[in-house]
Amino acid sequence: KAGVTQTPRYLIKTRGQQVTLSCSPISGHRSVSWYQQTPGQGLQFLFEYFSETQRNKGNFPGRFSGRQFSNSRSEMNVSTLELGDSALYLCASSLDQGASSEQYFGPGTRLTVT
Amino acid sequence: GQNIDQPTEMTATEGAIVQINCTYQTSGFNGLFWYQQHAGEAPTFLSYNVLDGLEEKGRFSSFLSRSKGYSYLLLKELQMKDSASYLCAVRDPSGGSYIPTFGRGTSLIVHP
């Protein structure tokens, strides 16, 4: 069974631009979560989607948004990029959103904002 | 609110045993995870504890005490490849979400 895939793996953008990252979960998984990882803050939760609906959202500004498609693939968008948005963006998928559900992480997209 | 603490960095010798601690303060509790993350790679699942006690899985064991808000990950017979960041994550459903909150991770350096 293929794992979680994320595209692109690396991205360089300039301040003010916008970016879209993509995540394909493990086949059969309906829950997709997005995290931002930086050396200073660690792994911080962005949002979670389940069956095309955003179920939970972390404490990030409205410039960060996402969506999920009917095939469970998910995208996240960051508009008006800032230097502080440089980070590793990780996507994790799980079978459902219940307590017993384990998360599987993708390799991440390394975003650099210059 | 949620607060998860782990040491920032630890060093150990190849072949030795190391214990990485994690303390948490959460409104609710529904499980604690440990993940391993090598530099530049995705976190990979190591263990899940929801009841008190020790869970053993090969060279790795994880312990949980819910009353103390405390867990540890025990790595035996350390190998150089165990050099990685170890992330503790707690599930607190009191806010209506089963999404785990992660600590900042413990960077383990194993030297010969």
- Report the pLDDT averaged over residues B98-107: 89
Interchain CB contacts (distance < 8 Å): A and B: 50
Beta-carbon count within 10 A of B102 CB: 23
Per the CB < 8 Å rule, is A102 touching B48? yes
Most confident of A29-38, A44-53, A72-81, B29-38: A72-81
Closest CA to B13 of B85, B111, B107: B111
Q: What residues of chain A lie within 8 A of the CB of B50, using their CB?
A: 99
**A64 within 8 A of A76, measured Cβ to Cβ:** yes
- CB contacts under 8 A, B 3-62 vs A, are 30-31, 33, 35, 41-45, 48, 50
CA distance A40 to B68: 27
Per-residue pLDDT band for A98 (boundaries 50, 70, 90) equals low
Cα gap B6→A16, rounded to integer Å:
36
Compare all CA atoms of chain A with the CA of B38 and give the residue at the minimum distance.
Answer: A107
Contact A97 B98 (CB under 8 A): yes
- For chain A, the average pLDDT equals 92
CA pair distance A34, A76, nearest whole angstrom: 8
- Name chain B contacts of A4, Cβ cutoff 8 Å: 42
- 């383990």: which residue's tokens? B108
Cβ atoms of B61 and B74 within 8 Å: the answer is yes
Mean pLDDT across chain B: 92
- Cβ within 8 Å, pair A56-B103: no
The predicted-structure confidence for B4-16, as pLDDT tens digits, reads as follows: 999 999 999 999 9
- Chain B positions touching A56 (Cβ under 8 A) are 96-97, 99
Of B88, B32, B82, B37, the C-alpha closest to B58 is: B82
Do the chains contact at B43 and A105, CB–CB below 8 Å?
yes
